[in-house]
Chains A and B, each alone.
Chain A
Amino acid sequence: EPEVTQTPSHQVTQMGQEVILRCVPISNHLYFYWYRQILGQKVEFLVSFYNNEISEKSEIFDDQFSVERPDGSNFTLKIRSTKLEDSAMYFCASSLAAHEQFFGPGTRLTVL
């Protein structure tokens, strides 16, 4: 069964450093998303991507964040200058329709 994959599973970085989180969505899906989940809190939407451009973003997704689909399979989230409060699980998801999203296993980002 096709699935969304994410790398790395755990990323530790120093405050102020840049990180890139990687995702391989399900191959025939058209919509791609990034979410984050701070420990013990709800899943929060960051950004959605369709047809090689951002289709929607939340107020969390400020100028320190960017997304890219550099080739036909990868989808990346870049955080330019990490802050302590960026520590969270980051989930990539993909879908053919917004109500039927398939999530990856997540990347745990720890900012020291």
Chain B
Amino acid sequence: QKEVEQDPGPLSVPEGAIVSLNCTYSNSAFQYFMWYRQYSRKGPELLMYTYSSGNKEDGRFTAQVDKSSKYISLFIRDSQPSDSATYLCAMSATGGSYIPTFGRGTSLIVHP
């Protein structure tokens, strides 16, 4: 079983829709959960991170972590065509290796 699973998509939505992006993981030692946005042929850009369980909101973006289910989500409200990108989840532990493990990314297309 892979450590971090993420559906590659593509996920196609109309402008203004609420988008839900998800990852599952198997390593219960993960404590930090990050979301990155990556435009084509560019470097990943950190959107937000959460520590342990709970929700975190930043503008139109909300990150949610459910450690009991080993499931994390990123919600995008009022999606815009400029949100079209690949969204990567990444996770890291707090003991031993701190290096994040990335999901393969979900391609999101927001059409006008």
Contacts and interface: CB of A to CB of B under 8 A. Distances in A.
A41 interface: yes
A99 B42 contact: no
A101 B42 contact: no
Interface residues of B, number: 23
Contact of A43 (B42, B46, B102): B102
B102 A42 contact: yes
Interface residues of A, number: 22
B99 A99 contact: no
A91 B105 CA distance: 16
Contacts of A102: 46
B100 A98 contact: yes
Interface in B46-93: 46, 49, 51, 88, 90, 92
Given A98-B92, A99-B98, A101-B46, A106 B41 contact: yes
B99 A108 contact: no
Nearest to B32: A99
Nearest to B44: A103
Contacts of B45: 103
Contact of B44 (A43, A48, A56, A100): A43
A77 to B, nearest CB: 15
A25 interface: no
A103 B43 contact: yes
Interface of A: 4, 33, 41-45, 48, 56, 89, 91, 93, 98-106, 108
22 contacts: A41-B104, A42-B88, A42-B104, A44-B102, A45-B99, A45-B101, A56-B97, A56-B99, A93-B43, A98-B32, A98-B99, A99-B34, A99-B49, A99-B98, A100-B34, A100-B46, A100-B49, A103-B44, A103-B46, A105-B43, A106-B41, A106-B42
